[in-house]
Amino acid sequence: MTDPSPNHLNFGHFGTANYDLDNSEWAFSRDPFRKKLNLLGPWRITSSVATQCLTPSLLRPARNVQQAARELARDYAHIAPAVEQLPELETISAAATSATASYDATSGCLLSFGSITCRGHSDHRPKFIVATPVGEVGNILQLQVVEKERHGWDDLQASDRGVCLEGPSLTSGDPGYWNEDAAPIRQICFAEGDERSTFLAVRFPNRTVVFHPTYVHKAKVANHSKYFDLPPSRIDPSPIHSISVEDTGGIPHADVSFNAEYQRQLGVVNEQGHWFIWDIDDGYRADNYKLTCSVVGSISQTDVESEPSAQSSQTKEDGWARILWCGDANTVVVANRRRVCVFNVKGGLTTLKSPRVIPERSADWILDVRRHPSNKNHFFLLTSTRLFLVAVTCPSDDPEFAHVEPAAAVLLSWTHYRGIDDITLQLCVHIASEQGM
């Protein structure tokens, strides 16, 4: 064997080599001097957008804002008296859109998975579905069945044709749509747990709508919408109740979540840290669902230490807050930018001792709170500088543990060095194996 030449390739050959006797040249099936890459085809869009009935002229391309405003006034004569105010309003709207393009504190998760069954058929196999916002400004709720799809290779030998890739797909079935508002959807949240048919909450700027989606064997006409022509579908969104901002103190909602132990209970926290727990009653045999508010609380009632006025005003302007269940069905964790508080709602509202993760005069913020995926008594908390693992000890009815004080305590903390000014940081926790994290 001869020593390899330094000019030889170390990553393979340029295809099959053929020698041209007429020209005394070698030819390869691949051109070694080709610089252009073969690009893969575009992604196939599997989520179809509902047909829009009305498209404002302001959204069409125009040379400037004044021209767009005049076009809008020609199409809708009733707004002609206010056409001079539109350019200024458009500038303000563009600035607000640009500021929230990278991060919007009032927006939550816009992708959630749940399950549905056919109403009245207890033996119906549950279907796995996904909820997402679609439409021009994300104001249409789309529900779509997730099916398994297989992809193989046609050029394999007969013995290897069983080799394939299998994964979730949204290509089968007709999506179900729901729309009543022109405002964009701010959060989508399915209930957790092993229920065959899960509840769904969708948060808008002015209200939170609760759904109980079902599957029907024959396509059903979609709920009427004054903005869109929605196609029929076998997925019925089935809205059951709407919690308006007037029901929660007149402040826009900041977060909504379901009780991880009992899906007929959901919590709502508004942008000022006031939180409410709602119970879903009835509806077991018919559609006579009823929501009642059972518990009301606030983070501000636990603030015994005064904070700098600049920090307080900054927190109020941001409007970020989170609510979740941790430990058991009666323990709730509520957080805003500066405080995280743990409450027990069994037999009345009790505030448990909670750690002070943000020092009084620190410029840090709480950026995210997530429940531990495999340990229901733990949750993760992310701040501008550190990541915390917090354990919650719930009140126990067992006399053996009567001496244990219910509280929340920091088990571990890490400095992440990601930049104190970056408020877009978020947590993503998942189970790496069946044994744990």
Residue of 340, 338, 393 lying closest to 360 (CA atoms): 338
Choosing from 283, 298, 313, the residue where a domain stops is: 298
Instruction: Look at residue 10 and tell me if it is in a domain.
Output: no
What pLDDT score does 219 carry?
A: 86
Q: What residue type is 144 in one-letter code?
A: Q
pLDDT per residue as tens digits for the range 209-225: 999 999 988 888 888 88
**412: in domain:** yes
pLDDT at position 48 is 46
| Predicted pLDDT at 78 | 85
Whether 307 is in a domain gets the answer yes
- Label residue 205 left, alpha or beta by phi (over 0 means left) and psi (-120 to 50 means alpha): alpha
* Structure-block tokens of residue 132: 């997402």
At 14 the pLDDT is 66
Both 254 and 384 in one domain: the answer is: no
For residues 264 and 329, membership in a common domain is answered with no
> Which residues 6+ apart lie within 8 Å of 275 measured at CB?
267, 268, 269, 296, 297, 298, 299, 321, 323, 332, 334
Q: What is the pLDDT of residue 75?
A: 85
425 exposure class (CB count in 10 Å sphere: 0-12, 13-18, 19+): middle
- Residue 11, in any domain of the structure: no
User: Do 169 and 267 belong to one domain?
Assistant: yes
Measured distance CA(365)–CA(92) in Å, rounded:
27
What local confidence, expressed as pLDDT, does residue 131 receive? 95
Same domain, 309 and 346: yes
Residues of the chain falling short of pLDDT 70: 1-14, 30-63, 99, 120-123, 152-163, 172-173, 284-286, 301-317, 397-402, 432-437
> Scanning the structure block, which residue is given the tokens 């209930």?
191
On whether residue 103 sits in a domain, the answer given is: no
Range of the domain at 406: 303-437
Please name which of 114, 111, 112, 110 lies closest in space to residue 128, comparing C-alpha atoms: 114
pTM of this structure: 0.75
Same domain for 343 and 434? yes
Q: What's the DSSP call for residue 8?
A: S
User: Are 259 and 384 found together in one domain?
Assistant: no
Tell me, yes or no, whether 117 and 253 share the same domain: yes
Residue 345 pLDDT: 93
pLDDT digits (tens, 9 = 90+) for 33-54: 655 555 544 544 444 444 444 3
Contact 376, 366 (CB under 8 A): no
Does 22 reside within a domain?
no
Cα 212 to its chain centre, rounded Å, is 18
Residues 268 and 316 in one domain: no
Structure tokens at 230: 């929605």
- Domain-embedded: residue 194: yes
Same domain, 270 and 146: yes
pLDDT of residue 235: 92
Is residue 322 domain-shared with residue 263, that is, in the same domain?
no
Is residue 244 located within the same domain as residue 364?
no
Q: How many domains does the chain have?
A: 3
18 domain-assigned: no
- What count of other Cβ atoms lies within 10 Å of the Cβ of residue 386? 16
Chosen domain end from 56, 86, 116: 86
Q: Is 250 left (phi over 0), alpha (psi -120 to 50) or beta?
A: left
Cβ-contact 240, 289 below 8 angstroms: yes
- State the pLDDT at residue 301: 62
Condensed to tens digits (0 to 9), the pLDDT of residues 311-335 reads: 443 444 578 999 999 999 999 999 9
| Domain shared by 52 and 122, yes or no | no
Helix and strand totals (H; E) in the chain: 3, 28
